[in-house]
Chains A and B, each alone.
Chain A
Amino acid sequence: MKTTTKQKIAFSILFLCTIMVVLPVLFVLGIIIKNGWHGINWQFLTTMPKDGMRGGGIYPAIVGTLYLVSLSIVFSLPIGLLAAIYLNEYAKDNLLTRLIRLAIVNLSGVSSVVYGLFGLALFVTFMKFGVSILSGALTLAIMNLPIVITASREALASVPYSFREVSYSLGLSRWQTIRHSVLPFAIPGILTGAILSLARAAGETAPILFTVAAFYLPKLPDSIFDQAMALPYHLYIISTQIPNISTETRYATALVLVGIVFSMNIIAVVIRARLRKRKKW
C-alpha cells in the first residue's frame, strides 16, 4: 500500500472517531430542541406547576436550581481556591502533599450518588441542617471541590515563575507576591473552572436527591433551610413518576436544563478565549 493511501486511511479513522464524539451531543440536542421548543414560553418559565405538574410552569424548579448553584459556589470557590493556593504556592513536595493530591484525584472519581448519601449523613442528619437548600448546596460544593481545586491549581501554575521571582526580588513577601503578582493573572482561569463546576452542579441529580429536592412545593423557598425543587430532579419525576404528562412538557423541561448548563459552559469558554487573547507572556 502506498504511504499516501495509508495516511488517508489513518486520517479518515481519526476523523470518524472525532465525529463520533460530536454526533451524540448534536443528536441529543437536536431531539430536545425539536420536541421541546414549542413548550417553552414565558408562562412555562415563570409560573408554578398545576394539575399535578401536568400543566403550568417550572418556575420553582428553575429558581431552586439557581439557588443551589449560587450557594454551592459560595462554599466551593473560596475553599477550593485557598486549597489550590496552598498546594501550588506553599506545600512542599512531601508525602503529605502527595497524599492530598491523590485524595483530590480520587474525589473527582467518586460517583455522585455517594456524595448524595454523604450529604444526607453529614449535613442533613448529623449537622441537623435537615433536607434543605443549605444541605444540598454543601453537598454540591463538596462534589465540585476537586474541579475547582484542579482548575485553580492549573491557573496558578500557568503564571510564569519569573513573575514570582521578580516580585520577591522587589522585596515583596510571599503573601504579597501571591496576592499581587500571581493571583491577578490566574483569576480568569480560576473563574473558568468555577463556572464549569457550576454547570456540573446544575445538572446533577443524585447529590440533591436526598439532601434538598422536593417532589412538589406549592411555594418558593423562603430561606436556605427550606426544601426546594430543582430542575434535574423535577425532570426525573415528571418522566418517571407522573403518568399522562405531555411529551412536550418533558422535553421543554430538559431543554431549559440543558440550556442553563450550556450557557454556563459557553460563558466559561468565552472567558477562556478572551484570556488567551490577552495573555502575552
Chain B
Amino acid sequence: MDNAAFSITQMRVSYARKEVIKGVSVSIMPNTVTALIGPSGCGKSTFIRSLNRINDLIPSFRISGDIIYRQKDIYDKETDVVELRRRIGMVFQKPNPFPKSIYENIAYGLRIHGLNIKDTIDETVESSLKKAALWDEVKDNLKQNALTLSGGQQQRLCIARTLATQPEVILFDEPCSALDPISTAKIEELIHHLKQSYTIIIVTHNMQQAARVSEYAGFFLLGELIEFGKTQELFTAPKDKRTEDYITGRFG
C-alpha cells in the first residue's frame, strides 16, 4: 500500500536475545486512529516505541525487518533520528510534565528547536493548549507549576507539548491507564478531533476505548499480530479464535 503512513514488514524485536516481537507485518493508514490491544507483555508497547526509535535508549534492544515511514526506512543509517522523533510524537503512559510552569513545558522545546520570537512562542503555546482542550482551564495560570495540575490535565498538557513540535504522527502508549473515567473521556474526545490532522496509533488495555476511538485495530498476542483490520469488524466478527477469546474476556 503506497499511501500508507507506516509500512512494516517482518518486524522482529528482541531485548537481550529474548524475542518480544516475532515478525509483525502491517500497514498504518494516514489520518486514522489505529488501536493496538492485547494482554500485558504481548509486545504492543514495544511495537509503537519502535516506531519513533525511543527504544534505541535501551542498550539490549535489537530490531530487524523493514519499518518504513513515508517511503523511508526508519532504521536506515542515514535516518536523522532526532528529526524522526520530532515528526513522530509520543504521549506516554504516565503523565510526565517537567517540573516547570505550564507555559515553559510547551515553550522550552520550541526554544531549543531554535524558535526565539516571543510572540510566536506565545501563539504556539496557546494554539497547542487549545488543540489539547486545556486552554480554558489553564489560560489564567500559565505560570503555575505543571505538577499542580490534576493527572488528566497533566496528560493533556503532555499532548499539547507534543503537538507544539508539529508532529505528523502521535503515538499514544496507554495514555489513560493512570486517569479517572472523566479525564479518560476527555482524552478520547481529543483523540477523535486530532485524527483529522494527525496519524494516531494508540496502545490500550481498555477494549471499549479501542472500540470507541479507533477505525483500525490490531490484536497482539505473545509478540505476534494475530489480527488486524477495521475496528468494527475486529470487534464484531473476529476472524481468529484467539481474538474472539480475548475480546470476549476469556483470557488476558
The residues of A with any CB-CB pair to B shorter than 8 Å are 92-93, 160, 162-166, 168-173, 176, 180-181, 185, 278-281
Contact = CB atoms under 8 A, between A and B. Distances in A.
B54 A180 contact: no
A176 B82 CA distance: 11
B169 to A, nearest CB: 12
A185 B89 contact: no
Nearest to A174: B82
Nearest to A92: B59
A229 to B, nearest CB: 46
Interface string B9-24: 0000000000000000
A170 B96 contact: no
A17 B220 CA distance: 58
Contacts of A280: 99, 145, 147
Contact of A170 (B57, B99, B147, B165): B165
Interface in B103-138: 108-109, 112-113
20 contacts: A164-B57, A165-B92, A165-B96, A168-B85, A169-B52, A169-B85, A169-B90, A170-B86, A170-B89, A170-B109, A170-B162, A171-B85, A171-B86, A171-B87, A171-B165, A172-B109, A173-B82, A181-B98, A280-B145, A281-B99
A180 B96 contact: no
Contact of A166 (B86, B96, B99): B96
B44 interface: no
B161 interface: yes
Nearest to A93: B59
Contacts of A181: 98
A168 B53 CA distance: 9
A92 B86 CA distance: 25
A171 B169 CA distance: 13
A91 to B, nearest CB: 11
B30 to A, nearest CB: 20
A165 B99 contact: no
Report which residue of B83, B96, B145 has the largest number of chain A beta carbons within 10 angstroms of its beta carbon.
B96
Contacts of B158: 166
Given A92-B59, A169-B89, A163 B96 contact: yes
B94 interface: yes
Contacts of A168: 54, 57, 85
Contact of A185 (B82, B92, B99): B99
Contacts of B87: 171
B205 to A, nearest CB: 19
Contacts of B83: 171
A172 B59 contact: no
Nearest to B83: A171
B112 A172 contact: yes
A165 B86 contact: no
A172 B147 CA distance: 22
Contacts of B162: 169-170
Nearest to B105: A166
The 5 nearest A-B residue pairs measured at CB: A171-B86, A169-B90, A162-B96, A170-B109, A171-B85
B21 to A, nearest CB: 19
Contact of A180 (B52, B99, B108): B108
A251 to B, nearest CB: 47
A162 B92 contact: yes
Contacts of B52: 169
A168 B89 CA distance: 10
Nearest to B90: A169
Contacts of B89: 169-170
Given A170-B89, A180-B108, A280-B99, A162 B94 contact: yes
A120 to B, nearest CB: 43
Nearest to B91: A169
Given A170-B162, A181-B98, 12 more contacts: A162-B94, A163-B96, A165-B57, A166-B92, A168-B57, A169-B92, A171-B83, A171-B86, A171-B87, A172-B82, A173-B82, A180-B112
Contacts of B82: 171-173
